[in-house]
Amino acid sequence: MNKKYIKRYKTLLNILQNPSILMKRKKYIFILSHWRSYSTLLSHILGSNKDICGYTEMHIRYFNTIDLQVLKLRSMERYGNLTNRKYILDKIVNNNLINSGEILRTKSISKIFLLRNYNDAIKSIIRYSATQGKNVQKYTDQNNAAELYIKRLSVLKEYSLFSKGNYIFIKSESLIHKTEETFDLLADYLNLEEELSSEYNNFELTGTPGYGDSSKYISIGNIVRDRIHTNIDISENLRLKCEKAYNECCETLKENSIKYI
């Protein structure tokens, strides 16, 4: 039998034997970000904490709070027993997955906005896309990569307004170069019992395309601060557009956040 269906069968059996599972209240973490923002790294760091279940993209479309039950069920299929976990995590980096402000106003969801500077993000999108399938390779073109980035930042600004006063904002560079301060902010916001660590676990889907970063760095199990990349020249016109979008998004996210770093 297919491994996917074995997991689904075990999940359904677990629910039938323990129907109260779906009734138990859970808290959730949404990492709201964009491509190549170190969101997979952050997900793995959080998912390695005993309070948190999840480390990857779940590909769920959220229309209202009922879809949190879908997240709970899929998490049970993927990860097993959730009883001892305070939070269930999902990483959302694409524009078509949250279709209502209602979900972002939900108090049971702790939201972490993660934003990487335009220069490094665009270059990383271009480099990474060259290693992926045909549907992604169009982003090797810097115009397409910049458009993807700018559109996503526009949506993140909208998410910020719906989530006003109920999220934290982290710059990707802070996760890499101000790690301890960032961990302190996360631990305080999420009220974690166990300290966060720059060393993290590798999971079943770590490095799998479609579920987050599939580069060699994510499987190392530790924060890699010095990455070697070939240089890419971005046109002045695109650089200015991306810079404007980045600065505007940063200001909006800072203004409406509980705390930021």
pLDDT at 23: 57
Distance, CA of 244 to chain centre: 23
The angle subtended at Cα 38 by Cα 144 and Cα 4, nearest 5°, is: 90
**Which of these, 249, 226, 231, 73, lies nearest to 150 by C-alpha position?**
249
Q: With 0-12 CB in 10 A as exposed, 13-18 as middle and 19+ as buried, what is 111?
A: buried
What type of residue is 148? L
**Average pLDDT rounded to a whole number, residues 76-84:** 84
Mind listing the pLDDT tens digit for each residue in 14-56? 655 656 556 567 899 999 999 999 999 999 999 999 999 999 9
Which whole number is the average pLDDT over 128-153? 91
Tokens representing 227 are: 């990455």
pLDDT digits (tens, 9 = 90+) for 195-224: 999 999 999 999 998 899 988 899 999 999
Distance CA 123, CA 256 (A): 28
What pLDDT does 12 receive?
A: 60
pTM of the full predicted structure?
0.91
pLDDT digits (tens, 9 = 90+) for 111-137: 999 999 999 999 999 999 988 877 888
Helices 142-162, 118-129: axis angle to 10 degrees equals 120
Is residue 82 within 8 Å of residue 227, measured between CB atoms? no
**Which CATH fold topology does 3-260 show?**
Rossmann fold (3.40.50)
3-state secondary structure of 222: strand
What confidence tens digit (pLDDT) does each residue in 242-258 have?
999 999 999 999 999 99
Q: Domain spans of the chain? A: 3-260
158 CB neighbour count, 10 Å cutoff? 14
Q: What is the pLDDT of residues 192-202, one digit of tens each?
A: 999 999 999 99
